[in-house]
């Protein structure tokens, strides 16, 4: 019985995630689940205007899924290979000046 309950809970979570993927506008709670952020952290980001959000009625907070995805992609961490390539290009460029 306990095992089937766990399986059902997992299936429900999977269905909720697939629903988030289909929705374009997310509520505050849905955005928390989508970003895997706590409510307090997301409130902190919205109050600091650090994350794109909407308040159409001045009270409820909504998010556009695509904007959240773009926000998550900002400031990517470069791989070691990318850093080495940039360093080599910089050395080649600056060694010609001497």
Read off the pLDDT of residues 83-94 as tens digits, 9 standing for 90 and up: 999 999 999 888
Q: What is the spatial distance between Cα 32 and Cα 22, in angstroms, rounded to a whole number?
A: 16
Per the model's pLDDT, the better-predicted residue between 72 and 59 turns out to be 72
**Confidence grade of residue 20 (pLDDT, cut at 50, 70, 90):** low
The model's pLDDT over 63-75, given as tens digits with 9 standing for 90+, comes to 999 999 999 999 8
Spatial contact of 33 and 20, defined as CB atoms under 8 Å apart: yes
| Domain count for the chain | 1
Domain that holds residue 39: 2-95
**Confidence grade of residue 18 (pLDDT, cut at 50, 70, 90):** confident
- Look up residue 27 and give its DSSP letter: E
- How many other CB atoms are found less than 10 A from the CB of residue 31? 24
């Amino acid at each position: 019985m306990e095992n089937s309950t766990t399986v059902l809970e997992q299936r429900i979570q999977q269905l909720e995630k697939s629903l988030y993927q289909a929705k374009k506008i997310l509520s505050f709670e849905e955005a928390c689940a989508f970003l895997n952020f706590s409510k307090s952290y997301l409130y902190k980001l919205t109050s600091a205007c650090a994350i794109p959000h909407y308040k159409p009625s001045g009270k409820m907070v909504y998010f556009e899924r695509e904007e959240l995805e773009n926000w998550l992609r900002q400031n990517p961490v470069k791989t070691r290979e990318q850093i080495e390539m940039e360093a080599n290009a910089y050395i080649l460029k600056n060694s010609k000046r001497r």
